[in-house]
Structure 1
Amino acid sequence: MKAEEFDFYLPEELIAQYPLEKRDEARLMVVDKKTGQIKHKIFKDIIDYFQPGDCLVLNDTRVIPARLLGVKEGTGGKMEFLLLKRIDKDSWEILVKPGKRAKVGSRFVFGNGELVGEIKSIGEEGSRIVEFQYEGIFEEVLDKLGQMPLPPYIKEKLENKEMYQTVYSKEQGSAAAPTAGLHFTEELLNKIRDIGVNVVFLTLHVGLGTFRPVKVENIEDHNMHSEYYNMSKETADIINKTKENGKKVIAVGTTSSRTLETIGDENGRVKEQSGWTNIFIYPGYKFKIVDELITNFHLPQSTLIMLVSALEGKELIMKAYNEAVKDKYRFFSFGDAMLLK
């Protein structure tokens, strides 16, 4: 299967630069694979598509201020670090800009010297492994010096950092938000609970590999990035009970979907588990756990549009995306949402 099959024309003005003031008033496109129907709603209407006993699965990861601006020790040359993945207590995999300054052994200073990073090795696709030196607690130093790592297609400054966090974010560790979850408010989640839907949480720390386009011609040759996940026994038990009762498991976001499908077995059951996943879901994949998916509109030729095509069918997804462009839906992280039934 060719990557170009997942391409579509997207006018730049449809890339959302700001979050909506009221999270749950984004537009919602409802796509039904059984009928092929496409309906246009408002996000808070999503409650109309849930039944008592269904299970809504949310990713409670929290974005860290992963963008660090500093200078090279000795020369003062400017440098940007983007934290991707924690290797151990003081070591991280990072992206650097400009890369030519980040040779092995180079040291970089952030703030007034509160944080110093030394490049230890060069990783895959130009990433670096850095070891940090600091006093105190790393998270507190990072909170003071770091900036929110908004995706490169968002050019505007975000005034309120919490708008790039879900209202239920808890577990620190993501380099990007699980953006489908940005549409939920506490009020909407409580209404969903009140009708008898089980709302459960898992964790997958989102890496920036999520946003990278597939650069190989045949998508089967693509090397997927790996991300850390965790599922509790409580969440696993509720999901299993939902399946046993013939009710729906509705994943919020591709991150929740990838975690569920990583853990799920051939009998459609999950268990308490943590680890690293590099699962790549594209058309031909048979879903074991996920029945329905709430997601945003994704980048052309990305692994995310391939995942939603696996669930809903490529033809229907491309039809839906073209209709979204025609109807001027807002795209990507701060954009509108889809419910894939």
Structure 2
Amino acid sequence: MNVKDFYFDLPQELIAQDPLEDRSSSRLLVLDKNTGEMEHRHFRDITEYLRPGDCLVINNTKVIPARLFGVKEDTQAKIEVLLLKRRENDIWETLVKPGKKCKPGTVIVFGEGLLKGTVIDVVDEGNRLIQFSYEGIFEEILDQLGQMPLPPYITHQLKDKNRYQTVYAEHDGSAAAPTAGLHFTKELLAQIEAMGVKIAHVTLHVGLGTFRPVKVENVLEHHMHSEFYIVEESEAKKINDTKAAGGRVICVGTTSCRTIESATGEDGILKAGSGWTDIFIYPGYKFKILDCLITNFHLPESTLVMLVSALAGREHVLHAYDEAIKERYRFFSFGDAMFIHD
């Protein structure tokens, strides 16, 4: 399978730079995964495609303001640090710019000394392990000093930090938002629950690897980043009960999809627990528990386009993307949505 099989030509101006005022007013392309038939709707119309007895699976991770700007303690040279993964004892795996200036032993000062970081090691792909020291609560300091780590194709900072969070974001830990969830309002979720649709919460802390391009020609040689997930007992039961009763399991976003597919055994039963997943879903993959998917429009040649192609077929997906481009849908994190159903 060649990475070029997942290429499409996307006009730059269709990359959404700002979220819409009303989350649920974004557009929705509805795609039948079996026939390839399409409908053009608005996101709030999703209720017309859900049925009592279905289960919506949402990722309740919260994006942390993971981009920090500091200076080297000795030379005052400017340093940018992006928090990627929390390890033990206030040690984080980070991306540092410029990396060359940050050898082990380097001390970086943030916010006039409110926070200090010491580089202790260099790990995969040049990432740095940094041990932080501070007085007080790390999350509060981060909230004060950090910026939202917006994707590389967003060219300016947000006026309102909360627009890069879902309305159900709860557990701190992501370096990027699970963006398919950005279309939901609290009112829309309440309406969905009132219809008799269950809502199950899982957690997957999204890493920046989600934006990492596939740099190999042969898709199968691509190495996925690993991300931490949690599935609680009560939520696994909701999903398993839905399946057993003949309802559909509908994931909101590729992160929810990767979580439950990682935690489901070959017997089709979702197991509660936590761990790291580097699952890579591409055409040929047999879904163990997911039936339908709500997702945004993704980058050409990305692992995310491969995942949706595994569900709906490459031809159907690329045809739908052509249609979305023709109809001037908005793409990527702040863009419009797609519902892939059976």
Same fold (TM over 0.5): yes
Secondary structure, aligned partner of 1:234: helix
TM-score, normalization: structure 2? Answer: 0.98
Matched, 1:63 2:69: no
User: Hey, what does 1:210 align to over in structure 2?
Assistant: 210
User: Hey, what does 1:52 align to over in structure 2?
Assistant: 52
User: Hey, what does 1:229 align to over in structure 2?
Assistant: 229
CA displacement at 1:156 relative to structure 2: 2.2
Extract structure 1 runs of 4+ deviating beyond 4 A. none
User: Contact 1:63–1:174 (CA<8 Å) still a contact in 2?
Assistant: yes
User: Hey, what does 1:261 align to over in structure 2?
Assistant: 261
CA–CA separation in structure 2 for the residues paired with 1:332 and 1:106: 36
User: Hey, what does 2:197 align to over in structure 1?
Assistant: 197
Quick one: which amino acid aligns to residue 305 of structure 1? Answer: V
CA–CA separation in structure 2 for the residues paired with 1:33 and 1:156: 36
Secondary structure, aligned partner of 1:40: strand
CA-based RMSD of the aligned residues comes to 0.8
CA–CA separation in structure 1 for the residues paired with 2:9 and 2:245: 42
Q: Pairwise mapping of residues 27-106 of structure 1 onto structure 2 (< 5 A)? A: 27-106=27-106
Quick one: which amino acid aligns to residue 206 of structure 2? Answer: V
TM-score, normalization: structure 1? Answer: 0.99
CA–CA separation in structure 2 for the residues paired with 1:315 and 1:119: 47
User: Contact 2:84–2:93 (CA<8 Å) still a contact in 1?
Assistant: yes
Q: Pairwise mapping of residues 247-286 of structure 1 onto structure 2 (< 5 A)? A: 247-286=247-286
User: Hey, what does 1:289 align to over in structure 2?
Assistant: 289
CA–CA separation in structure 2 for the residues paired with 1:250 and 1:226: 23
CA–CA separation in structure 2 for the residues paired with 1:332 and 1:208: 14
User: Hey, what does 2:309 align to over in structure 1?
Assistant: 309
CA displacement at 1:31 relative to structure 2: 0.7
Unaligned runs of 5+ in 1: none
Corresponding pairs, count: 341
User: Hey, what does 2:182 align to over in structure 1?
Assistant: 182
CA–CA separation in structure 2 for the residues paired with 1:188 and 1:89: 40
Which digits, 9 at most, give the CA deviation of each residue in 1:155-174, with x for residues without a partner? 12210111100000000000
CA–CA separation in structure 1 for the residues paired with 2:191 and 2:278: 34
CA–CA separation in structure 2 for the residues paired with 1:160 and 1:296: 21
CA displacement at 1:61 relative to structure 2: 0.3
User: Contact 1:213–1:300 (CA<8 Å) still a contact in 2?
Assistant: no
CA displacement at 1:233 relative to structure 2: 0.6
Quick one: which amino acid aligns to residue 50 of structure 2? Answer: F
User: Contact 2:34–2:312 (CA<8 Å) still a contact in 1?
Assistant: no
> Percent of pairs identical after alignment?
61
Moved more, 95-104 or 37-46: 95-104
Secondary structure, aligned partner of 2:119: strand
Quick one: which amino acid aligns to residue 54 of structure 2? Answer: D
CA–CA separation in structure 2 for the residues paired with 1:300 and 1:120: 37
Q: Pairwise mapping of residues 2-41 of structure 1 onto structure 2 (< 5 A)? A: 2-41=2-41
Moved more, 192-201 or 265-274: 265-274
CA–CA separation in structure 2 for the residues paired with 1:130 and 1:154: 27
Quick one: which amino acid aligns to residue 324 of structure 1? Answer: A
CA–CA separation in structure 2 for the residues paired with 1:238 and 1:288: 16
